[in-house]
Amino acid sequence: MRLGKLSLEEVAGRLDRPFTMIDMATVGDMTVSLYLCQGILAWHRHLDQDELFWVHRGAILLESERGRVRLRPGDLAIVRKGLAHRSSSSLRSTVILIRCTALPHRRNGRYRLYGTQEEGPQRVNLVEAARRVSLPFQPRTVARVEGTVVQVGWGEGVWPMPELAIHDTLLVALGGTAVVQTEEETIALRPDELTVVPRGGLYTLTTARETVLVRVTREEEG
């Protein structure tokens, strides 16, 4: 099993028009994209799709019919299906977007035409969330979107693994360095770099001091 590695800065440099998007990775039935938010996007809603917005660079205002939230680098928020929303920024801002790209009649499609009873988007800062994780090497779930979880963890040294990727697993290092090792290769993830360990892959992790590791994977059932 060989791992690929993507630089968010390199991908961002290829975005040349406001609200254009580049798909970067697939995690199960979720697509991880980077889009350029500059200006104001028209109000719209997704009938069968939650969307997770994670700011990479700049700052955005994420508005919905049930509230608004300002997001800066390292912040994320989820807009639930059925809610009218829009994103805007006066700056050149790049945003990681995670959404399900399966067919609309998949397991949890509801075809709702109007705002749901769900609350509006709530801000989560990944570094702040990691500081609230008391034990090293114990990732904590900080967001859920369409059966996929976003987790944060920290720890200096080798994580108590090897770990089997039961599902596709996206890894991102915030600050510091995370070394991902499989039987075939070793890669170092530095800030603004990501990789995906495919389902069934066996890997080990080593993180440097002050590294916050973000993991995106399918939530275990039961």
CA angle at 160 for the pair 124 and 143, rounded to the nearest 5°: 15
Q: Which residues pair with 93 in a beta bridge?
A: 37
Q: Give the domain ranges of the chain.
A: 6-126, 127-218
| Mean pLDDT calculated for residue range 87-115 | 73
| Cis bond before residue 162 (omega within 30° of 0) | yes
DSSP 72: -
More confident residue, 189 or 48: 189
Residue with tokens 């697509």: 31
Q: State the DSSP H helix or E strand holding residue 70, giving kind and residue range, or none if neither.
A: strand 67-71
Is there a shared CATH topology between the 6-126 domain and the 127-218 domain?
Answer: yes
| Mean pLDDT calculated for residue range 155-166 | 83
Burial of 107 (0-12, 13-18, 19+ CB in 10 A): exposed
Three-state secondary-structure class, residue 212? strand
| Mean pLDDT calculated for residue range 83-98 | 96
Rg (CA), the chain: 17
* Cα distance between residue 114 and residue 220, in whole Å: 30
Q: How far is CA 30 from CA 8, 49, 136, in A?
A: 18, 10, 28
Q: Which pLDDT belongs to residue 111?
A: 43
Q: How far is CA 118 from CA 45, 53, 111, 153, in A?
A: 14, 17, 15, 28
Which CATH architecture best describes the domain 6-126? Sandwich (2.60)
Please tell us whether the domain made up of 127-218 is placed in CATH 2.60.120.10.
Answer: yes
Q: Which residues pair with 57 in a beta bridge?
A: 94
Q: Is the pTM of this model over 0.95?
A: no
Residue 65, token pair as written in the block: 């019919």
* Cα distance between residue 35 and residue 49, in whole Å: 17
- pLDDT range class, residue 113, cuts 50, 70, 90: very low
Q: Which pLDDT belongs to residue 57?
A: 97
Residue 162, token pair as written in the block: 């090897």
Q: Which pLDDT belongs to residue 1?
A: 59
* Cα distance between residue 145 and residue 9, in whole Å: 25
- Cβ partners under 8 Å of residue 14, min gap 6: 22
